[in-house]
């Protein structure tokens, strides 16, 4: 055990480089939502009747992120498994650099849409590199290693509003953040090319050649568990990308601060939920409880038109929606497909990608047709989707199989 630990120390810098890539991924996944008005103006958006800029096209571009993930997931996994983690990671990081530089260069919504798709493709390739790599670097603490990928994202989303504030106070363009992140990703891509990677675990591939055909259990509970990938992702994606306009309509002068409350909630949840599961709380219980909390909070944010409720709501939504429900849906689905963990993970993540594209496209439509009422209409849409998620979780919980997988299965990024 000691020799194995010592031999893996040479990969620790590699792990740091991969975690850093996820830190920048956290910025990439939320920064567009912070600068909707600026991008809308750059792409020639029209002015609405109430005098505000129509930001629906920016929400559509953000939705393209999910489309990119859908396109890439069938290819990213095989590249990582057959060609290597290094290549998959390099492709993902390099494409993120393209995203950061490209988004501030284009002046057309359709070119920006293409860049948004690249963002999603980058995420898919990075996912298929980082999660297996850090688990291979830290085999004795695989669950904790994978948990820190989520932790890196939430820390980035906490820091981002402060960076935005510093850039604004220095009277610099928002493009400075994009340029800085692009440069950092280029440097990280070079590191991934030269740093050592551990040998890939071939056990799964060998097992497939020596065992019977895997048995897939597409029971109602299994299908419901997969579909939670859609509903759980929709809850936090809608809030993450549409809370700025809601905050402004409720009188918050700097709505970007809501992002920090959201990120703190998600960070606390990642740590506490892992501890609760370790102490014996069932994953299926969390799948019911957390979305229920989100529904209550979303309803409070709808009925109470006060800035304070949004600060509280951002923390609670960060905790209950973004702090592990998607990851636990993945682990629960794996329980239905014990011989096909990769298939189970892919199915949940594809559902998540569909959510990213579909619900944000719907939010863009609502923004266009309802104008000033859009933020509250989007809350109602979020409540309905999250309520469906609770129903799906109840099907899973009472579907004849309450799975309890290890933490290692339940903390995918």
Q: Residue 2 class from Cβ within 10 Å (0-12 exposed, 13-18 middle, 19+ buried)?
A: exposed
Measured CA to CA, the distance from residue 278 to residue 300 in angstroms comes to 31
pTM: 0.74
Output the pLDDT for position 33.
Answer: 82
Q: Of all residues in the chain, what percent carry a pLDDT higher than 70?
A: 86
Measured CA to CA, the distance from residue 311 to residue 259 in angstroms comes to 9
Output the pLDDT for position 22.
Answer: 92
Measured CA to CA, the distance from residue 410 to residue 330 in angstroms comes to 6
- Region class of 32: left (phi > 0), else alpha (psi between -120 and 50), else beta: alpha
**Which residues of the chain register pLDDT less than 70?**
1-7, 48-51, 141-144, 146-147, 200-217, 334, 338-343, 345, 400-413
Q: How far is CA 253 from CA 25, 168, 256, 257, 307, in A?
A: 27, 14, 9, 9, 10
Output the pLDDT for position 8.
Answer: 78
Output the pLDDT for position 85.
Answer: 85
Neighbours of 58 (CB within 10 A): 28
**Residue 102 CB contacts under 8 Å (≥ 6 apart), including other chains:** 111, 115, 118
State pLDDT tens for residues 141-157.
665 676 678 788 888 98
Neighbours of 170 (CB within 10 A): 8
Map residue 19 onto helix, strand or coil: helix
**Sign of dihedral through CA atoms 69, 70, 73, 75?**
negative
Q: Which CATH number fits domain 207-406: 3.60.20.30, 1.20.1250.20, 3.90.650.10, 3.90.730.10?
A: 1.20.1250.20
Mark out the alpha helices in 250-340 (DSSP H runs): 257-279, 283-303, 307-322, 325-336
Measured CA to CA, the distance from residue 105 to residue 121 in angstroms comes to 19
- CATH 1.20.1250.20 residue ranges of the chain are 1-201, 207-406
Q: How many helices (H) and strands (E) does the chain have?
A: 17, 0
Output the pLDDT for position 143.
Answer: 57
- Identify the CATH homologous superfamily for domain 1-201: MFS general substrate transporter like domains (1.20.1250.20)
Measured CA to CA, the distance from residue 215 to residue 212 in angstroms comes to 9
Output the pLDDT for position 413.
Answer: 36
Output the pLDDT for position 253.
Answer: 86
Map residue 47 onto helix, strand or coil: strand
Q: Phi, psi (5° rounding) for residue 47? A: -100, 135
Q: Of all residues in the chain, what percent carry a pLDDT higher than 90?
A: 39
Residue by residue, DSSP assigns 60-82 as: HHHHHHHHHHHHHHHHHHHIIII
> What is the b/e burial string over 371-381, where b = at least 16 CB atoms within 10 angstroms of the residue's CB?
eeebbbbbbeb
């Amino acid at each position: 055990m000691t020799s194995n630990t010592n031999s893996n120390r040479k990969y620790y810098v590699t792990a740091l480089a991969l975690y850093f890539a996820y830190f920048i991924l956290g910025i990439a996944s939320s920064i567009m939502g912070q600068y909707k008005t600026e991008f809308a103006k750059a792409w020639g958006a029209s002015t609405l009747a109430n005098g505000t800029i129509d930001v629906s096209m920016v929400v559509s571009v953000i939705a393209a992120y999910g489309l990119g993930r859908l396109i890439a997931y069938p290819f990213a996994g095989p590249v990582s498994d057959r060609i290597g983690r290094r290549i998959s990671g390099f492709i993902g990081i390099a494409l993120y650099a393209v995203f950061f530089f490209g988004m501030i260069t284009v002046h057309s919504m359709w070119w920006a849409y293409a860049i948004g798709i690249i963002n999603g493709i980058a995420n898919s390739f990075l996912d298929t590199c980082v999660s297996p790599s850090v688990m291979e670097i830290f085999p004795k603490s695989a669950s904790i290693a994978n948990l820190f990928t989520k932790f890196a994202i939430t820390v980035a989303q906490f820091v981002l509003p402060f960076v935005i504030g510093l850039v604004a106070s220095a009277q610099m363009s928002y493009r400075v953040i994009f340029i800085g992140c692009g440069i950092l990703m280029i440097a990280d891509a070079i590191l991934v090319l030269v740093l050592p990677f551990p040998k890939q675990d071939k056990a799964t591939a060998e097992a497939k050649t020596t065992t019977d055909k895997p048995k897939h259990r597409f029971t109602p509970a299994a299908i419901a568990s997969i579909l939670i990938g859609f509903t759980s992702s929709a809850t936090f994606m809608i809030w993450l990308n549409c809370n700025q306009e809601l905050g402004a309509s409720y009188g918050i002068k700097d709505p970007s601060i809501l992002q920090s409350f959201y990120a703190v909630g998600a960070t606390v949840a990642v740590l506490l939920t892992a501890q609760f599961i370790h102490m014996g709380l069932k994953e299926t219980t969390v799948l019911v409880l957390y979305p229920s909390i989100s529904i209550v909070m979303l309803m409070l944010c709808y009925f109470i038109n006060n800035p304070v409720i949004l600060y509280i709501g951002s923390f609670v939504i960060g905790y209950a929606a973004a702090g592990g429900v998607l990851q636990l849906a993945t682990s629960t689905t794996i329980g239905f497909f014990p011989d096909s963990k990769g298939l189970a993970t892919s199915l949940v993540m594809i559902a998540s990608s569909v959510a990213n594209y579909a619900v944000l496209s719907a939010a863009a439509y609502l923004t266009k047709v309802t104008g000033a009422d859009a933020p509250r209409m989007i809350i109602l849409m979020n409540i309905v989707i999250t309520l469906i998620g609770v129903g799906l979780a109840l099907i899973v919980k009472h579907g004849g199989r309450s799975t309890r997988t290890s933490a290692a299965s339940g903390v995918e990024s």
